Structure 1
Amino acid sequence: MPHAHHEGNPVRKPEEVNAYLVGGGIASLTAAVHLIQDAKVPANQIHILESGPLPGGSMDGAGNAETAYILRGGRMLNFSYLCTYDLLSKVPSLSDPSKTIMDVSRMGLNAKERADLLQIAAETEKTLGTKRIDECFTKEFFDTKFWYMWDTMFAFQPWHSAVEFKRYLHRFIQEFPRINSLAGVDRTPYNQYDSIILPIETYLKSQGVDFHYETRVNSLSFHPGSAITVSEIHFASTKDGKTGLIHVEPHDLVFLTIGSMTSCSSLGTNTTSPKPLPAVEEALKAPDGAWQLWSSLAKPELNPHYSAFGNPSNFYSRINESNWLSFTVTLKSPEFLSHLETVTGNKAGTGALVTFKDSNWLMSIVVPHQPHFINQPSDVQVFWGYGLFPSAPGNIVHKPMQECSGAEIMQELLGHLNFPEHPALENSITIPCSMPYITAQFLTRKHGDRPEVIPHGSTNLALMGQFVEVPRDTVFTVEYSVRCAQIAVHELMGTKEKPKDIYRGEHNVKFLVEALKMLLT
């Protein structure tokens, strides 16, 4: 039977499809689960190509009690993440999520600030355009409790995109009545690698999915013609540099995760700082290849279909607007956490976010439920933190967070808590992690900078991750990656199950009234 060359995708026979998933993050893992369960593609015809030694992408967690644990970040989940919970309901779980609470009193917004918030919520994305958040509010707004909670909870900066801020307002408005307690936040029982990635990987391997680690995809080739139909995938081993290519039939599928918020991450140690921030062109040389591959697809001289692939340089070329620093502390004795409990009134392990408002680095820490790792001994505790202003000098350690060793970051934290440095410093190992692109997906952008999940004219290629355009949904969430993977499988395989609609708190009148009441206290 000849292949249909008309516009619109021919209905595929699942038993004939080979699916190639480039990148081993949550988007690819999600696509694989849905290809098996909804699209009925045989698991051994699903191939995941990942440049690193492990799956999980930015959702990582590793280490041990001796040399220290490391987490680059933590994710908050809440009940509006309909796609994520749909995915998790399809995978045999290892344990149950636990709920958490943190107490902060009123929001501290005045009438003008409340009016500005309602104004930005009502504006269209078109009229907001490339405006920054700080172009929509007075300077005082950024000193309110509301903003402190908002920027520490979601890592927004005043210069980030007003459009993205507006999307978050709509998406999380159901959090306002409880934003002072974070009661709407679900936490996973362990770190997210052990709680989400590991069970999905275990499930996919048991089904027979074909995983290729340390395999970096460098470029795609396309069949000639006006349609976007991938014909070849060019890859190289990150171990020995050997290159190879995969022939892609028109009825096969390619799912490509574009860009990476953890590319060029650099770990320090307890005694050394992470590497300095990279130069712009370093993004394209990163070992994972994520920015380089997307850039090659968006270049007119390399790809006749370049205009369907967005504008990657908008997101990777503004490191001073997108970087921050996180750190993971491994504690060998319990005094620090019991002191923290006394100071904050938060039971250690409730997952509460503690922000040091007077910190020049705007430092926050999160103490998760212990143990946070499956292999963690009972006398060891782990917590995680971050600073949103890593180039500012510390209040106690008078140098930029970016240039601090782990021990110096711990020293700064102990100072903010008025806790004796010794023996706390000897009883802890702190691993700093610099992430140049961690909030790149929040940067101002114009229409078309982010490509569609199914690029216009594509017959067998879908794009996924934090840098594609999913109307109305919010980036920097697990949900965004999961949703774009579900859209990709649904569209390319024509499955019956459509992805769940975006939870829209503002359509629920009760929520809207409660949320506005909260804003008006």
Structure 2
Amino acid sequence: MSEKKNLGKILAWGAATAAAGIAAKKTYDYYKSRKDQKELFSKGQPKECNQRENQKAYFIGGGLGNLAGAAYLIRDCNMPGEQITIFEGMHILGGSNDGIGTPEKGFVCRGGRMLNEETYENFWELFRTIPSQEHSGRSVTEEILSFDHAHPTFAKARLIDKDGKILNVSSMGFTQKERMALFRLMNTPEHKLDDLTIEEWFADMPHFFTTNFWYMWQTTFAFQKWSSLFEFRRYMRRMILEFSRIDTLEGVTRTQYNQYDSVIRPLELYLRKQGVVFSENCIVKDIDFSQGDGITVEALHLKDYGVERKVELTDQDICIMTNACMTDSATLGDLNTPAPAPQLRPISGELWSKIAVKKPGLGNPYPFFGDVHETNWESFTVTSKGNKLLKMIERYSGNVPGSGALMTFKDSNWLLSIVVAAQPHFINQPMDQTIFWGYGLYTSEEGDYVKKPMKDCTGEEIFTELLHHLHMEDKKDELLHDVVDVIPCMMPYIDAQFQPRKMADRPNVVPKGSTNFAMVSQFVEIPDDMVFTEEYSVRAARIAVYTLMGVKKKICPVTPYAMDPKVLVKALKTSYR
């Protein structure tokens, strides 16, 4: 078939898809007309809710989703904060949105969570009602978007080869067969993709995994060849706007600081002011359900600072659980010590395993936590005195700190990438210190220069490997002199949410038959939305609270950009670049 006929075939497919989604397109047009993405309904609308006097809410896990759930209970159900308790197994809240450290010992982010202005509908809506801690009279949403608009992203060094050359990545690099396979995948129903991997879909197209597109898409979202095919499909549809700008990552929305300081801290302070009870260093070991066919939580078994205790729920109380966490069992090293091998007993996943056998419809954790060799990768955070290294990277990449995005060393055995954020990246970071973050996807592979697997390397060895890929190895001693610490972080389950699975393996947010129980995480099922995002956690929380509490208020829908003809045509043109 000629190139012209193929183009006509794809355009016809796009037209048919758009025609089939007329209703969704109306939603898209509505959102487009409301560029500020404010709440769908006025704040003065009556808040219908089945909240009962003295009703209590218990949240298992202190990550973003459950913190958001508590905020929804207060805002949309008028539940007093004193009647809300959040149990967290760690000493700090935020789950995977972490950022900790001191100037003396260095700073660490286990990961960086990308935000997006167009596709995080419920996230922005919620944080419009959470006050900024730094700017009086402003919301967190206004604070983030204001900072982002003043510091737009336009990466100039997305892919770098083994010779240190910054590659021209304006072309996606597809063959016609690969191009057609992508468009065919986007139009294939999900129920036909159970247990399939990306590699299986492109089995006779090995060239696909050498394209500019794959290297950029893979490292931006942390996909692997063996990742779930329908998660890849959801990303292609949900983030189709990013497909056309993946070479510059212009669509990335930046927070002023790391996500803990910019997102979790103001939300936590808001909840504390409302009187929410936080029980940290408290692990929920098991859940008792009532007898019978329904799903009703009767009691929680806790290990609170090492002391066993039990919390009994009344008929009117609710329980919302984090059924799994992708940063569970993470370990930290330092400049002279590798991150220790993790103890492969994820706290949240272990609880999920216990309850999944008690009632039908609670999902199956095994596909996600069954193969740590496929789900791990390792990050590292570099803290230095002064800005000598950041200035060198700026001259090399053409991006001032905060204006670039992932720089990926495509020929690296570890598939290394780094990100240099705007400085300071932590609220308590001194002005004479600088920080940047990086990660490697292939931790069992031997380094190109440091002849050890990444997972066995100290912070100094990871730093040395990076300098070689930047071709700055001659400056190693000088730069190491300024290093406060390089903290490696091994995360055995960080890619668990992308594992191949059946549709039934992820439970619904509110399982069928539940009277007072819901689950909120990256391991629940939300049709059309994509995991590994802040929006997924917040959307799940809103579904959980609104369903259990009978809130008569709409949840912001997934904006159907994949149904918009203009977006589709732009994506089509990008595929032919």
Shift of 1:277: 4.9
- Residue 246 of structure 1, aligned match among 292, 311, 331: 311
Counterpart Cα distance in 2 of 1:504 and 1:399: 45
Partner of residue 397, structure 2: 344
**Aligned letter for 1:60?**
D
Partner of residue 4, structure 1: none
Counterpart Cα distance in 2 of 1:442 and 1:325: 16
| 1:506 aligned onto 2:562 | yes
Counterpart Cα distance in 2 of 1:516 and 1:370: 37
- Residue 470 of structure 1, aligned match among 505, 526, 535: 526
Partner of residue 82, structure 1: 121
Shift of 1:274: 1.0
Unaligned stretches of 5+ residues in structure 2: 1-47, 134-142, 157-168
| 1:398 aligned onto 2:465 | no
| 1:217 aligned onto 2:256 | no
How large is the RMSD of aligned CA atoms in angstroms? 1.3
Identity %: 46
Deviation string, structure 1 residues 156-185 (Cα, Å, up to 9, x no partner): 000111111001110000112222211111
User: The residue matched to 1:434 in structure 2 has which SS?
Assistant: strand
Counterpart Cα distance in 2 of 1:159 and 1:13: 45
Partner of residue 268, structure 1: 333
Please list, as runs of the form range in 1=range in 2, the aligned pairs for 1:375-454 lying within 5 A after superposition. Answer: 375-419=428-472, 420-428=475-483, 429-454=485-510
Please list, as runs of the form range in 1=range in 2, the aligned pairs for 1:55-94 lying within 5 A after superposition. Answer: 55-79=93-117, 80-94=119-133
Counterpart Cα distance in 1 of 2:402 and 2:325: 30
Shift of 1:190: 0.3
Counterpart Cα distance in 2 of 1:12 and 1:497: 12
Partner of residue 171, structure 2: 106
Unaligned stretches of 5+ residues in structure 1: 1-9
Counterpart Cα distance in 1 of 2:189 and 2:574: 24
Distance change >3 Å, CA 330–CA 150, structure 1 → 2: same
Deviation string, structure 1 residues 137-164 (Cα, Å, up to 9, x no partner): 1111000000011001000000111111
Shift of 1:338: 1.2
Task: Say if 1:324 and 1:434, in contact at 8 Å, map to a contact too.
Answer: yes
Task: Say if 2:50 and 2:551, in contact at 8 Å, map to a contact too.
Answer: no
Partner of residue 201, structure 2: 136
Partner of residue 484, structure 1: 540
Counterpart Cα distance in 2 of 1:378 and 1:497: 45
Counterpart Cα distance in 1 of 2:444 and 2:372: 12
Deviation string, structure 1 residues 422-444 (Cα, Å, up to 9, x no partner): 11122112100000000000000
Partner of residue 145, structure 1: 212
Partner of residue 17, structure 1: 55
State how many pairs are aligned.
498
Task: Say if 1:101 and 1:351, in contact at 8 Å, map to a contact too.
Answer: yes
| 1:163 aligned onto 2:238 | no
Counterpart Cα distance in 2 of 1:295 and 1:30: 24
Counterpart Cα distance in 1 of 2:510 and 2:551: 15
Under a length normalisation based on structure 1, what TM-score does the superposition of the two structures give?
A: 0.94
Counterpart Cα distance in 2 of 1:418 and 1:225: 65
User: The residue matched to 1:38 in structure 2 has which SS?
Assistant: helix
Counterpart Cα distance in 1 of 2:309 and 2:410: 52
Counterpart Cα distance in 2 of 1:177 and 1:463: 34
Deviation string, structure 1 residues 180-210 (Cα, Å, up to 9, x no partner): 2111110110000000000000000011111
User: The residue matched to 1:381 in structure 2 has which SS?
Assistant: strand
- Residue 207 of structure 1, aligned match among 258, 274, 295: 274
Deviation string, structure 1 residues 339-379 (Cα, Å, up to 9, x no partner): 11121111222242111111110000000010000011111
Counterpart Cα distance in 2 of 1:227 and 1:405: 51
Task: Say if 1:452 and 1:468, in contact at 8 Å, map to a contact too.
Answer: yes
| 1:294 aligned onto 2:294 | no
Task: Say if 1:187 and 1:351, in contact at 8 Å, map to a contact too.
Answer: no
Shift of 1:218: 0.6
Under a length normalisation based on structure 2, what TM-score does the superposition of the two structures give?
A: 0.85
Partner of residue 255, structure 1: 320
User: The residue matched to 1:102 in structure 2 has which SS?
Assistant: coil
